[in-house]
Structure 1
Amino acid sequence: MSLNANYKLLKKIKDDRFDEEKLHQYRLLIQIGVRDFQVAVVAESDQRLLFFEDYILNDLNSYDEQLTVLRGLFEAHAVLQAGFWKEVKISIKNNKFIQLPTTLFLSNSTAEYLKFNATIDPAAELVLNCENLSLNITTVYAAQKELVNWFQVIYQNTKLTFHHQSSALIQGVSANIHKTGNPLYIYVDRFKLHILAFQGGHLTFYNQFTIKQFSDYVKYIMLVMKNLNMDQQTSEVVLWGYIGKNSPHYIEFVKYVRNVSFGERPRHLTFGYLFDELQEHHFFDLYSIDLLTA
């Protein structure tokens, strides 16, 4: 574990096949939240995950502080500042977003769409959009202007795309959807809960909820299940995220929702033996960034 005044490296895994001389053959995945930051590297040749890091960002109170911490992290990092990756995909974690059918999306109306869900500071934030092409969904979201500009400078010589965490989760679940039934899909993030539902391969529900105490998990899940006419005793629930299989939270959770199983890693990726120390249902959002193409 690596400790810095402003960030802490919780976990690092580097596959034996990772080669710094071959970064031009790798895709770099970056996920940025207010309180955490993850990195993954995927080999283009065999879809193998070669590198992984998970950080906690400490006591950030503003966009400026977040950018300052990330600058320091990048400056101290062995490979993140390299500018010759095959591709770089960056996912933003925040609650300033909205989804709509791509057929109804107008690129000159992005700020108007976002007004329904969030307050945007035009001086400090950009309004971006990304697509789930196979699902006809466009996500409109806000991102820190200086952060986006900074990444565009670092990765100016490689293919760079920006995405939203919700878009990655939607694409990941869609690609790993159960062949039978219509389960409720849940991703437990740090201080956030994401709930998704699909029917006939189409997204029918997605939302995220801020969690302040454990009872909030149960409250929001029960509310969504009721609205979707699902039964907490019999309806299937598939679970990913920061919840251990033997943790007190999971043991308490299954008292209320009975038919629970843990989700698998995205099927398009392969993992070496070193990644066995990570539970398979962890970091699903990070891995799923790799499925996004626009």
Structure 2
Amino acid sequence: MRLADTTQIISIKDERLDIDKISQYRLSFFVSNTECQIAVFDVKKRHLLLFEHLEFNPEKSITQNLQVLYDEHTLIAAGFWKEIQVFVRNKQFALIPIPVFDRSLASQYVRLNEVIDEKKDEFHYKLLDEAGAAVAIGYQSEIRAWFREKYPKLSLYINHQSVAYLKGIQEQLRSKTPASLYISLNNNEAQIVGYNFQRLAIYNQFRFSDATHLVKLMLLTIQQFSTEGQLTPIVLHGVKEKVDLNMPVLKKYFKHIELGKRPEGILIHPVFNELENQEYVEVLANL
């Protein structure tokens, strides 16, 4: 299906989605320059009711692509959701240990990792007590302005994909190993997390060209927090296409690698089994 310049890759709907009950549903967006995932979640019954994955027109801005969705997607244009949450997929982030974190320096933390424009970007932070870290994030001010214009009366929460993935793997942490690595593959970008005894040691995200390049980046990451090297246990998440493409090479280098699991605590109709268990963990864990 094509919505003007936006191509729909996945669209799965639970027929129990009821337009008359939208006031008890949460609408979630995961947006980047190139794609968007949308989910509808019944907060009261904890049911996933809709999941869509769309590719954006790369010649348009994020807000221009969102406008295409809004104009042509009847459900998204409804104005009486319980709340709206947005997770931004970009490189404007920084993780800081909570004991030394200064909330007034959010933009300066982000500047250490990525170019920012304080006239066009907004900054805030999220405390992750269970990880012992704060995430400072930045995103284009026009993104918040667009959502405020379209949903002026609703609660709006904006966060970063790092926060989403870190939450998504919490229940999958290896409790009996000194070090473990968690990685999510989406298109040609990887999110990678290292833990020592269930304490966050490192988070990063990067683009990779092929499986060999990915292995090198994984080994460089492991060297920064683990003495186990290629024996470090690895849990792999990501879209099926990229997991299937890269797994054969990864198995040659890493002896203890396994696929991740779907997050618990949400009710999913069998229609959503079109999604593999290791797919979209950062989305499903943050409905």
Q: TM-score, normalised by structure 1?
A: 0.90
User: In structure 2, which of residues 210, 219, 222 is the aligned counterpart of residue 222 of structure 1?
Assistant: 219
Does 2:127 match 1:131?
yes
CA distance in 2, matches of 1:245, 1:195: 15
**1:131, 1:167 within 8 Å by CA — same for their partners in 2?**
no
Identity value in percent: 25
| Displacement after TM superposition at 1:161 (Å) | 0.6
Change in Cα spacing, 1:229 to 1:138, as seen in structure 2 (3 Å) is: same
Match of 1:83 among 72, 79, 90: 79
Q: Does structure 1 residue 175 correspond to structure 2 residue 207? A: no
Do the aligned residues in 2 keep the contact of 1:99 with 1:140 (CA within 8 Å)?
yes
3-state secondary structure, aligned to 1:78 = coil
Q: Do the aligned residues in 1 keep the contact of 2:211 with 2:250 (CA within 8 Å)?
A: no
Displacement of 1:31 after TM fit? Answer: 0.3
Counterpart code for 2:19 = E
Counterpart in 1 of 2:248? 251
Shift of 1:124: 2.0
Give the 5 Å matches for 1:134-213: 134-181=130-177, 182-213=179-210
Query: Is residue 41–residue 50 contact of structure 2 (8 Å, CA) maintained in 1?
Result: yes
Using CA pairs under 8 Å that are at least 6 residues apart, name the structure with larger relative contact order, 1 or 2. 1
Distance in 2 of aligned mates of 1:136 and 1:86 = 30
Q: Which amino acid aligns with 2:37?
A: Q
Q: How many residues align?
A: 285
Q: Deviations over 1:67-109 (max 9, x none)?
A: 2121011111121122222222110000111011334333322
Change (3 A) 1:245 1:128: closer
SS of match in other structure, 1:13 = strand
Measure the CA separation in 2 of the matches of 1:117 and 1:159: 30
User: Which of 163-172 and 195-204 deviates more?
Assistant: 195-204
Show the counterpart of 1:240: 237
Deviation, structure 1 residue 41: 1.3
Three-state SS of the structure 2 residue aligned to 1:268 is coil
2:274 alignment counterpart: 277
Q: Does the CA-based 8 Å contact 2:13-2:49 persist in structure 1? A: yes
Q: CA deviation at 1:277?
A: 1.1
Rounded to whole Å, the distance in 1 between the matches of 2:129 and 2:78 is: 29
Structure 2 length as normaliser, TM-score?
0.92
**Counterpart of 1:52?**
51
Distance 1:250-1:243 versus aligned 2 partners, 3 A rule: farther
Structure 2: stretches of 5+ with no match in the other structure: none
**Aligned-residue CA RMSD in angstroms?**
1.9
Deviation at 1:235, TM superposition (A): 2.6
Q: Distance in 1 between matches of 2:103 and 2:269?
A: 41
Cα 1:176–1:157 shift into 2, 3 Å? farther
Structure 1: where are the runs of 5+ without partners? none
Query: Quick one: structure 1 residues 132 and 153, their matched pair in 2 at CA, closer, same or farther if it must change by over 3 Å?
Result: farther
Q: Residues 44, 5 of structure 1: CA spacing in aligned structure 2 closer, same or farther, 3 A cutoff?
A: closer
